Amino acid sequence: LLESGVPQLVQPMIWDYAADFDVEDKVRLIEKYRRCGFSKVWFASAFKGATGANQSLTLIGHHLKNHLQWLEVARSSPADVLEGIALTGWQRYDHFSVLCELLPVAMPSLAVCLQALKNGGYSEKVKENVEKLLGMSNLETETFMR
């Protein structure tokens, strides 16, 4: 890869939507990419649509935990390696599947994930900020929103 010149043309994106992925594995993967000449990497997370092909509602806690894991990867990696994070929002698993987790029901999840990334974590203050932004009285992250 070093000799090919590819690392000067592209930046790899590391995808993982799990709520409990191995942070150290991701850090080692980033180190491998750096040894191959890639100076920057992207992360890819999901704020909706990655927990089941026929899921109707978004379980915010799953996606929040995923983003908190990515923050840990970022903290454990060299400061200059992360180019950005793509928050994906899958609506269909393939072209023959029904739509899942339409955007309106996932807006609270998107807001929570963006605020967690912006603030470097999740706290009661972040929760209150999301509730205020969305005009909600009780944001639920561990159960499906009612």
pTM assigned to the model? 0.92
- 29 in a structural domain: yes
Instruction: Give the count of domains, the chain.
Output: 1
Looking at 36-119, list the stretches that DSSP marks H as alpha helix, in order from N- to C-terminal side.
60-76, 103-119
The answer, yes or no, to whether residue 146 has pLDDT greater than 70, is: no
- 142 in a structural domain: no
- 53 in a structural domain: yes
The answer, yes or no, to whether residue 23 has pLDDT greater than 70, is: yes
Residue 135's CB: how many other CB atoms inside 10 A? 6
Give the integer Cα–Cα distance in Å for 118 and 56: 27
Is the C-alpha dihedral spanning 88, 145, 136, 19 positive or negative?
Answer: negative
The answer, yes or no, to whether residue 56 has pLDDT greater than 90, is: no
Mean pLDDT in residue range 41-55 = 91
Which pLDDT score is estimated for 95? 84
- 140 in a structural domain: no
- 110 in a structural domain: yes
Name the residue range of residue 96's domain.
Answer: 2-134
Is the C-alpha dihedral spanning 80, 45, 73, 68 positive or negative?
Answer: positive
